[in-house]
Chains A and B, each alone.
Chain A
Amino acid sequence: MSGPIHIRPDETFTLNVGPQHPATHGVLRVKMEMDGEYIVKAETVLGYIHRMHELMGENRTYPQVLPNLSRLDYLGALGYTHGHVLAVERAAGIEVPERAEYIRAITVELNRIASHLFWFGAFVMDLGGFTPLMYAIEDREYILDMLEAVTGSRLTYCYYRFGGLYNDVDDDFIAAAKAFIPRMRKSLKKYDALVTGNIIFRKRLEDIGPISAEMCRKYGATGPVARGAGIDFDVRKNEPYSVYPEFDFDVPVYHECDSLARYKVRMDEMEQSLRIVEQGLEKLPDGPIMPKKAPKLIKPPAGDYYQAVETARGSFGIRIVSDGTKNAYRFKLRSPTYSNMSLFDEACEGMMIMDALAMMGSLDLVIPEIDR
């Protein structure tokens, strides 16, 4: 470590971005071969917080592994537990009461808004603007308080059960959710006026960080990343599950392929989620939240089951191979951020480091979900 440094003019140097770096929002490491400010080659190194959730899914019973699913993605946890309960219900053939499905859809969409709100703040913070995060957190806090009242936790929820829910929503929740919708619409307008129109913000995102549809297909990118590249794919529309066919909502798609397109997709998605919540609250039927004969011990018949759901980050798939016992024989999680992150190495080649990190922010990374 001592002695003078000799650098030839054509020499590149290796820059370790992470595992502890403010831009990676977690313990992600990107080894970058740098030529001054330009990235020659990047290599993503994963695994710093690998916790073997898939193996745990094979060693534990199905209900025992349910809390694990919300530890995948701490920002949009309900979407992941939703995927698990849907997969197990499909495997074990458990009927779900309609009210429970509606409440699931409402809470998942609220959670999606909370996740996107936090992403919005963190993304602008990646670009150097600290203030929008504080505004976004204020709205997110409202959702977390609402969800805390019914689910019992604020971040890593374990609210859904095989066949229904742990707890019914009360009038307070419905009143709070109804009050939230106009409030959030007002906030979205405010964010649009404060951030989207900002000249510095636009200059940093427009035509920067191109991720084409071909690249999305090559790496299996889904969610807002793919929709920002013009791929009209949303699991809620294309492979409908739960009660999503009952709702009238649009899938925002932008064809610009740049960081701004991904930003716009997420901002529009919040509005669409609000529409789903609004309709869900209107249509919310009365009735039980758990089936009369919910099985105490879940032993799906031997077979191979797959369920995909649209989480805040993209298409999350869960594959259960059952051998008829109370543990899964194989438990495979297909997490959207892992695929979205895979394309970063190719996409950031030749970019300047600040643009590359802005693009990384637009991928909406949650590291525990990459390292399952």
Chain B
Amino acid sequence: MSLTILNALVAVVAAIAFAALNAAYLVWAERRGAGRIQRRPGPNVNGPLGLLQPPADGIKLMTKQLMIPGGADKALFMVAPVLAMAPAITSFVTVPFSDTIVAHSMNIGVLMIFAFASLGGMAILLAGWGSRNKYGVMASVRAVSQNISYEIPMLITVITIVMMSGTMNLKELVGAQAGGIWNWNIVPSLSSPLMPVSFLIFFICSLAETNRAPFDLGEAESELVAGFHTEYGSMGFGLFFMGEYANIVIGASLITILFLGGWDCPLGLFPGVWWFLLKIYLLIFSFIWIRWTFPRTTIYGLLNLSWKILIPISLFNLLLTAGLLKVF
């Protein structure tokens, strides 16, 4: 019994450490990457290659005073940032990094991650509402409608994959794709010819779910100042920021597990955690790349894209796959 508790403790600490480290250094990577894209150096003063920038930022954020605006709902205002960060970290518990490195392999892994991802929208809603700021409220209304409309095509795509693999366990999902690139879910097979389209839908939805540009309508700085975190300073803002990056890692991990064969090597050789990390960081790099190259969409354009294009296509794919699975 005590061994189980110890195991759980180690797993939780490892998950938090991984999430926090990633969040901190992804900020650095994003700023360096943005610098490269924009022909400027990016942070390069603190430490070699600016590697000490994240700790410096962290110390700055932690030592600042947490201001609560007058008239704000104190409880909601304080809870929201924690609610943004905590579910993202909790999701790491069930993510399998390789055959052996997984904190807790659950039979409902996919469902659990989506359940926690939905809590992220809740955090944004509470933050906007609790801070009693008109920009905040407008931004949270946007962010929530965005999150709801993008979870639907995402889940339909996941149902398609679950139907093909016959499992909701993330580890078994990867196991079903083992043995090289031709077994991965992204490659169209006889029973699922539209899989690359599904991948694209899922990728777009992940961008929207994590509130990243070009879908960063919740914090559209040219209209809504800073959106839902307008009133947040110090570590309140820091937690939102880290939560965003933790969510990006979760999103990239999910894409890798569902479509890109997890820790499987493209040629079927030396599968292991390095392949998993390589894939998620490539995906994260593409997230960063997209953010710094595209302008922002409009809220109605965004919702139209989801309800008029993504949902019909993903539904069609679901029906097609279901029918073909019955035939073959």
A residues whose Cβ falls under 8 Å from a Cβ of B:
1-3, 5, 13, 15, 21-23, 36-37, 124-131, 134-135, 138, 198, 200-201, 203-204, 352-355, 357, 361
Contact check, B223 vs A354: say whether CB atoms are below 8 A apart.
Answer: yes
Contact check, B299 vs A128: say whether CB atoms are below 8 A apart.
Answer: no
Chosen A-B contacts, 14 in total, with CB atoms closer than 8 Å, are A1-B70, A37-B299, A126-B222, A127-B295, A128-B221, A128-B296, A129-B294, A131-B38, A200-B296, A200-B297, A204-B297, A204-B301, A352-B298, A354-B299
Contacts A134-B40, A353-B138 known; 10 new A-B pairs at CB < 8 A: A1-B70, A15-B135, A37-B142, A128-B220, A128-B296, A129-B293, A129-B295, A200-B295, A200-B297, A354-B298
Contact check, B216 vs A128: say whether CB atoms are below 8 A apart.
Answer: yes
Q: Which residues of B from 113 to 148 have beta carbons under 8 Å from A? A: 132, 134-135, 138, 141-142
* Bound Cα distance from A129 to B292, whole angstroms: 7
Q: Which residues of B from 200 to 250 have beta carbons under 8 Å from A? A: 213-214, 216, 220-223, 225
B208 shortest CB reach to chain A, Å? 13
Residue B39, interface by CB 8 Å: yes
Residue B13, interface by CB 8 Å: no
Chain B positions within 8 Å of A1 at CB level: 70-71, 132
Residue B163, interface by CB 8 Å: no
Chain A positions within 8 Å of B213 at CB level: 128
Chain B positions within 8 Å of A357 at CB level: 222-223
Chain B positions within 8 Å of A134 at CB level: 38-40
Do A130 and B38 contact each other (CB < 8 Å), given the known contacts A198-B294, A200-B294, A352-B300? yes
**Most chain A beta-carbon neighbours within 10 Å: one of B138, B225, B292, B296:** B296
* Bound Cα distance from A354 to B299, whole angstroms: 8
Residue B37, interface by CB 8 Å: yes
Do A15 and B223 contact each other (CB < 8 Å), given the known contacts A130-B292, A138-B39? no
Contact check, B298 vs A204: say whether CB atoms are below 8 A apart.
Answer: yes
- Which of A22, A131, A138 is the one whose CB lies under 8 Å from B221? A22
Chain A, Cβ-Cβ closest to B40 = A134
* Bound Cα distance from A127 to B297, whole angstroms: 8
**Most chain A beta-carbon neighbours within 10 Å: one of B37, B135, B292, B295:** B295
Please report the number of residue pairs spanning A and B whose Cβ atoms sit closer than 8 angstroms. 84
Contact check, B220 vs A124: say whether CB atoms are below 8 A apart.
Answer: no
Contact check, B222 vs A127: say whether CB atoms are below 8 A apart.
Answer: yes
Chain B positions within 8 Å of A131 at CB level: 34, 37-38, 292-293
Chain A positions within 8 Å of B70 at CB level: 1-2
Chain B positions within 8 Å of A204 at CB level: 295-298, 301
Contact check, A125 vs B39: say whether CB atoms are below 8 A apart.
Answer: no
Contact check, B295 vs A201: say whether CB atoms are below 8 A apart.
Answer: yes
Do A124 and B295 contact each other (CB < 8 Å), given the known contacts A22-B225, A131-B37? yes
Q: Which residues of B from 1 to 40 have beta carbons under 8 Å from A? A: 34, 37-40
A13 shortest CB reach to chain B, Å? 6
Shortest Cβ-Cβ A-B pairs, 7 listed: A128-B296, A129-B295, A1-B71, A134-B38, A127-B295, A128-B295, A23-B222
Chain A positions within 8 Å of B221 at CB level: 22, 128
B219 shortest CB reach to chain A, Å? 10
* Bound Cα distance from A297 to B50, whole angstroms: 58
Contact check, B225 vs A129: say whether CB atoms are below 8 A apart.
Answer: no
* Bound Cα distance from A2 to B221, whole angstroms: 27
B227 shortest CB reach to chain A, Å? 11
* Bound Cα distance from A23 to B214, whole angstroms: 17
Chain B positions within 8 Å of A201 at CB level: 295
* Bound Cα distance from A131 to B38, whole angstroms: 6
* Bound Cα distance from A61 to B297, whole angstroms: 51
B259 shortest CB reach to chain A, Å? 24
Contact check, B39 vs A135: say whether CB atoms are below 8 A apart.
Answer: yes
B310 shortest CB reach to chain A, Å? 16
Chain B positions within 8 Å of A37 at CB level: 138, 142, 299
Chain A, Cβ-Cβ closest to B71 = A1
Chain B, Cβ-Cβ closest to A21 = B225
Do A125 and B222 contact each other (CB < 8 Å), given the known contacts A2-B70, A130-B38, A200-B214? yes
* Bound Cα distance from A124 to B213, whole angstroms: 14
Contact check, B134 vs A15: say whether CB atoms are below 8 A apart.
Answer: yes
Chain B positions within 8 Å of A200 at CB level: 214, 294-297, 301
B151 shortest CB reach to chain A, Å? 21
Chain A positions within 8 Å of B214 at CB level: 128, 200
B328 shortest CB reach to chain A, Å? 37
Chain A, Cβ-Cβ closest to B216 = A128
* Bound Cα distance from A10 to B51, whole angstroms: 52
B76 shortest CB reach to chain A, Å? 13
* Bound Cα distance from A190 to B51, whole angstroms: 33
Chain A positions within 8 Å of B134 at CB level: 13, 15
Chain A positions within 8 Å of B34 at CB level: 130-131
Contact check, A203 vs B298: say whether CB atoms are below 8 A apart.
Answer: yes
Q: Which residues of B from 53 to 101 have beta carbons under 8 Å from A? A: 70-71
- Which of A138, A198, A355 is the one whose CB lies under 8 Å from B295? A198
Chain B positions within 8 Å of A129 at CB level: 293-296
Chain B positions within 8 Å of A138 at CB level: 39
Chain A positions within 8 Å of B296 at CB level: 127-129, 200, 204
Chain B, Cβ-Cβ closest to A24 = B222
A363 shortest CB reach to chain B, Å? 14
- Which of A2, A198, A354 is the one whose CB lies under 8 Å from B220? A354
B216 shortest CB reach to chain A, Å? 7
